[in-house]
Amino acid sequence: MTATGQRSIVALGLACGLVLVPTGLAAQSQPVPLTPASGQDYEPATQDPGFHTKPPHQGTRRIIDQSYDGVDFLGSNCGCLPPDTNAAVGNGYIVETVNVQIRIFDKATGSILLDEPLETFFGSHSDGDVYVVYDDTADRWYVSAFDSTEEGLFLAVSKDGNPLHGFLPTYHLTDVGGFPDYQKPGFNEDAIFISYNDFGSGGAAATIVSIDKVAALSGTLRHFVSHPEFQFRAMPPAQMHSSKDRDWERLHPQEKGGVEWFVSTDGTDAGGISIRVTKMTDYRSVTPSFTYTSLPVSEYRYATKADQPGGSITTSPNTTTTQVQYHKGHLVTAMASSTAQDGFVYPKGQVYQIDVSNGWPTLLKQDVIDPGDGVAVQIPSVDEDENGNLGLAWMESSNTEYLSMWVGILGHITGRLVTSVAAPGGGFFLFNSRIGDYSTTVLDPADSGTFWSANEYIGDGGSSNIWRTHIASFRFPEEKLLSLDAGP
């Protein structure tokens, strides 16, 4: 997301943010702060001379399977901040996009199979805000981003389920209002959705593009632009995944297409006491129907402080949902916001699970990722596996921990959060204006039990390689191992 203030100050501002010189989160219950299980092994982060980087909590490598670095600052072909890190998984491939690069990995080995600038990928220059999803209902990949003018959007649709087989000619959406910021794609059985904040003509109002999926997969762009009730910041559409439980689908025919869900904050980016769930129907028309439900949650506010060894770090952005996943009647989303626990100071990970299986939203669960006093949790993401366990990823830092990537599993039955550091921070974050815009956590459609997350962390490259990204797969630990980790 491009902050309009940055654009007015930085003459060379891109959609991806500040240009840098390469050198230089049933009835509602009170949420319980989630802390990691004890008795686990930890590999300390690289220490910077003069600082003791002791982690604020301990983690385990038992839940992590694959783990490898993604695109970094030097390889991003952008020289910009933030990277807008995200990734998707399907058919044995991981596709990662950042500003302004796309990279395809072999899922099992992490080998790079394709690495190219978005300009090459789309066939025209893109100013970023790029996002990739894998649609398991159609076995297709979608990549969306700004066009070259920041007044329209690009959408690329793969030819089949193998992203190496190429993509159809890029669709160019030019009637989206002008400056469609913070765009996010989603899908259901018969449509592709892109939401964004219309800074060009709508006063930053959330706007929805609904794209006919059958037409798009056959090479034709047929789409509709609509304007729901005003919502600033983000109104991400759900990625409505297919269910392998055919009995569930038979008993819930109303959820089998014909509806799209969105989850956002309810109010302003300063905070709130509810989240808004939006139901969209008749979306393949110029007059769709929107139904809004405000679900009461514990108060959240825009966080004001985050630390790193030797100084502070920005809390921008927070208090905004960035990803919504749907499986078997449940929506899950996460955001970073402060809580009353520490007087609304440090950002923590807010996690929400919502039941929509009967056609209306009910809050099932609200949890808070809180590793400890003075620890900032930022850029979280979440998905749910077939057993109801939640896979989580986030960035965290404190006065004893550089900005690091963590992953965790919140057990549906145990209620325990088991965590692991995926990429320990290795250095001071020098550019204190914005740390990123989003991360992604997705359930692997191949086994419905493994999560894949992509997020950012800070390495030891200083101003020459200011941010790095990392990709990790993880799953709920075996019952035997979980009992060994339980502690007293």
Q: What percentage of residues in the chain have a pLDDT greater than 90?
A: 73
User: What are the per-10-residue average pLDDT scores of the chain (488 residues)?
Assistant: 29 31 28 38 30 41 90 93 95 98 97 98 97 97 97 98 98 95 95 95 89 98 95 90 69 70 90 96 94 97 97 94 95 97 97 95 97 97 96 98 97 92 96 90 94 97 93 82 42
Beta bridge partners of 209: 194, 225
Counting Cβ atoms within 10 Å, is residue 314 exposed (0-12), middle (13-18) or buried (19+)? middle
pLDDT for 313: 95
pLDDT for 17: 36
Q: Where are the domains of the chain?
A: 4-24+26-485
Q: Give me the architecture of the 4-24+26-485 domain, per CATH.
A: 7 Propeller (2.130)
pLDDT for 256: 54
Among 225, 227, 209, 109, CA closest to 473: 109
Q: What percentage of residues in the chain have a pLDDT greater than 70?
A: 82
pLDDT for 23: 24
Among 423, 399, 438, 418, CA closest to 472: 423
pLDDT for 477: 84
Q: What is the pLDDT of residues 157-180, one digit of tens each?
A: 999 999 999 999 999 999 999 899
Q: What is the pLDDT of residues 208-249, one digit of tens each?
A: 999 999 999 999 999 999 999 988 778 999 999 987 666 656
CA distances from 255 to 190, 223, 241 (A): 12, 22, 11
What the block records as the tokens of 464 is: 């020459």
